[in-house]
Chain A
Amino acid sequence: MTLISPQAALIDQVTKEFPSGNDVIQVLHGISLGIDYGKMTMLVGPSGCGKTTVLSILSGTLSATSGTVTVMKKRLDRLKNDDLVRFRRRKIGFIFQQYNLIPTLNVAENAAIPLIADGVAWEDALNQSGRMLDHLGLGPHKAKYPRQLSGGQQQRVAIARALSHNPALVVCDEPTAALDAASGQAVMALLEEAADDPNRAVLVVTHDDRIFSFADRIVRMEDGRVIDDGLTQPLPPKGLRR
């Protein structure tokens, strides 16, 4: 079974509760979800249904209340905190809605952070991230600072940062929410290309229907549960939509 669909990440029977006053609120109700290599998986659903929570748990930034989390055959729920941090830095690429670039570092340095944090020498790290920036069309902007770039360009820098260490899993939370349509399409095209790699899985959380057409698979959530797992394109092709 796993031979047919090798999975980069798998959460099984995961629940998540948050404390709320003296009470707890249950946000995830026993979710199971696998993320495949070589595909772009989109997680969609109404606001507050638990998409970000799933992405956080799956990427090892948040611990589940119960259930198992396996990424690249490693049980994240069993890793010690420092090992978990190191695992994230080596195996996972992160893209945030607000880009979260460091304003006082230039583009090349921002993109090199995961490499530098992992002990790659400064020069080598800048070279490696520089190649990624060239590839993403940001070559001329390497020495600029984030505030000198448009939102779309900043998000592309964030993509370079997420891909510079060649991670096997890339997670993106609302990567286009802060962008205009054209920039959003450009960003998604780059992520689509990244997902084409058979050694990489890309998970995009979004409720931006303008980008649904980039998905290889769309998982719909509602109220902490998966309600629909469309393994095929559920929407008409791009040209037929607004």
Chain B
Amino acid sequence: MNDENELKLRSSLMVSFGTQPRSRSILGMVGIALKMLMGDPVKYFGLVFGIGFSTLLMSQQASIFVGLLTWGANPVLDVRQAQVWVMDPRVKQPDQGQAISDQSLYRVRSVDGVAWAVPYARSAATVKTMQGNIAAVTLVGVDNQSMVGLPEENLANSMSAIRGRNAAILDGNTQHLIWADGRDPIGQVVEINDNRVVVTGLTSSLTNFSGLPTLYMKYSDAIAITPPERNKLSFVLVEPKPGVTPEDLAERISEVTGLKALTRQQFAAAGTQFIIENTGIPISFGAAIGLGILVAVVITALTLAMFVAENLKNFGALKAIGVTNRQILVMVLSQALLVGFIGYGIGIGGTAAFLYFGQADPSLRGFKALGEIVGGSALLVMIIVLGSAYVSVRKVLKLDPAIVFRG
């Protein structure tokens, strides 16, 4: 057939779709199929809520899982300005401070292609409030001049806040872990290693895996109040010159200094990877997600099989009367797709609502239903319902229509 003829045939097929008896008979039987299923409310709602529940379980748990993983990357992502992180070769993740020598900063600055490099200190500390409370915090020291390391796009605003000696900017999202009474932290004085520190500003950090409040100070102040035997310089934050890629620069810094240098993306990924490899999170969430899939498979397969078995005699009568196997297949698949569609909508809606209202809770802040999760659970539900439908319908397809005459 030449192209022109084929085109004509195709367009005539398209135009007549919906009016041709063949396609209309399919649509008609779909209507009958959906009425058959919805007329059995126990199974209909059982299927819808079974699929809805398992979609909720899968997508909500997967979203929390991904959210928790990003916590490992958030200390890196909080620093917006620097493209390359330089550290001790043994460091695997941002909360594992391992001091490097002060000279490292100058050696990094001398590497070709470095636009600027600044010190960054990150360590655990304990604060004591004037009210006598004690709280664990993450103490971050940011470069005195540039303030690179504060979780802000625009660092200029923050400069004035910690210009004074022993002034600190606190993460506003976790301040309640220091002052549970909800008081305004600005102006509060705390003690860190017997040094008085005044909170002079608030910022907003991404949630990190430790969940501790982060306190930001000038680098010089932060290392001055850290005990001498503790880590001082944890990381050197570097920006490449225009035209130099972060990857190339990181490689060059490693070669020249012998230190480990990673791009922002690489180090963020390493933070996530660390959680995957070193916590029970993947297993526990994997189990919950697996359970969701299992619930979907069991409920859908069993209920559909039961529905088809109970209607076997009716399907037999339909086959005798003159309903083709193709029509029966479409009928059962459309029943499965209907409950799959509605159930999935309910489940994914539940996850969306959970995450939306969860934003008010600091421990869920920033969690979102990624497109991959939304699409992935849709695909899973589709495979499960169509698979279950196919397994149940095979019995009907093989059914001898003459059985309808047998008692």
Interfacial residues, chain A to chain B (CB-CB below 8 A):
52, 55-56, 59, 61-62, 82, 85-90, 92, 94, 96-98, 100, 102-105, 109, 113-114, 116-122, 125, 161, 173
B405 touches A89 (CB 8 A): no
B314 touches A85 (CB 8 A): no
Which of B38, B320, B325, B407 meets A88, CB within 8 Å?
A: B320
Asked if B402 is an interface residue, CB under 8 A from chain A, the answer is yes
Q: Which of B27-35, B129-137, B286-294 contacts A (4 or more CB under 8 A)?
A: B27-35
> In the complex the two chains form, what is the Cα distance from A85 to B25 in whole Å?
14
Q: Tell me the minimal C-beta distance from A158 to chain B in angstroms.
A: 9
**5 shortest A-B CB distances, which residue pairs?**
A89-B322, A104-B39, A119-B21, A119-B25, A100-B317
**A–B complex contacts, Cβ < 8 Å, 18 sampled:** A61-B320, A82-B325, A86-B322, A86-B324, A87-B322, A88-B321, A96-B320, A100-B404, A102-B32, A102-B36, A103-B39, A105-B32, A114-B322, A117-B318, A117-B321, A120-B28, A121-B24, A121-B28
B324 touches A85 (CB 8 A): yes
A117 touches B405 (CB 8 A): no
Given A61-B402, A97-B407, A119-B21, the answer on whether A89 and B321 have CB atoms closer than 8 Å is yes
Which of A55, A92, A104 has its CB near the most chain B CB atoms (within 10 A)?
A: A104
Given A117-B29, A118-B25, the answer on whether A104 and B36 have CB atoms closer than 8 Å is yes
The B349-407 residues at the A interface (CB cut-off 8 A) are 400-402, 404-407
Q: Which residue of B lies closest to A106 (CB)?
A: B35
> In the complex the two chains form, what is the Cα distance from A117 to B301 in whole Å?
27
Q: Which residue of B lies closest to A85 (CB)?
A: B324
Which of A88, A96, A104, A119 meets B405, CB within 8 Å?
A: A96
Asked if B158 is an interface residue, CB under 8 A from chain A, the answer is no
* Contact partners of A96 in chain B: CB under 8 A: 317, 320, 404-405
> In the complex the two chains form, what is the Cα distance from A94 to B316 in whole Å?
12
Q: Tell me the minimal C-beta distance from B376 to chain A in angstroms.
A: 34
Interfacial residues, chain B to chain A (CB-CB below 8 A):
20-25, 28-29, 31-32, 35-40, 311, 313-314, 316-327, 400-402, 404-407
* Contact partners of A94 in chain B: CB under 8 A: 317, 320-321, 404
* Contact partners of B25 in chain A: CB under 8 A: 116-119
B35 touches A52 (CB 8 A): no
B405 touches A116 (CB 8 A): no
Q: Tell me the minimal C-beta distance from A7 to chain B in angstroms.
A: 22
B405 touches A56 (CB 8 A): yes
Q: Which residue of B lies closest to A158 (CB)?
A: B317
Given A86-B322, A89-B321, A100-B313, the answer on whether A119 and B22 have CB atoms closer than 8 Å is yes
* Contact partners of A85 in chain B: CB under 8 A: 319, 322-325
* Contact partners of B401 in chain A: CB under 8 A: 61
* Contact partners of B400 in chain A: CB under 8 A: 61-62
> In the complex the two chains form, what is the Cα distance from A119 to B28 in whole Å?
7
B322 touches A62 (CB 8 A): no
Q: Tell me the minimal C-beta distance from B33 to chain A in angstroms.
A: 10
Q: Which residue of A lies closest to B316 (CB)?
A: A100
Q: Tell me the minimal C-beta distance from B24 to chain A in angstroms.
A: 5
* Contact partners of A56 in chain B: CB under 8 A: 402, 405
Q: Which residue of A lies closest to B40 (CB)?
A: A104
Q: Tell me the minimal C-beta distance from B83 to chain A in angstroms.
A: 64
Extra contacts, 8 of them, besides A96-B405, A122-B31 (Cβ < 8 A), are A62-B402, A85-B324, A102-B311, A102-B318, A116-B29, A117-B29, A119-B24, A122-B28
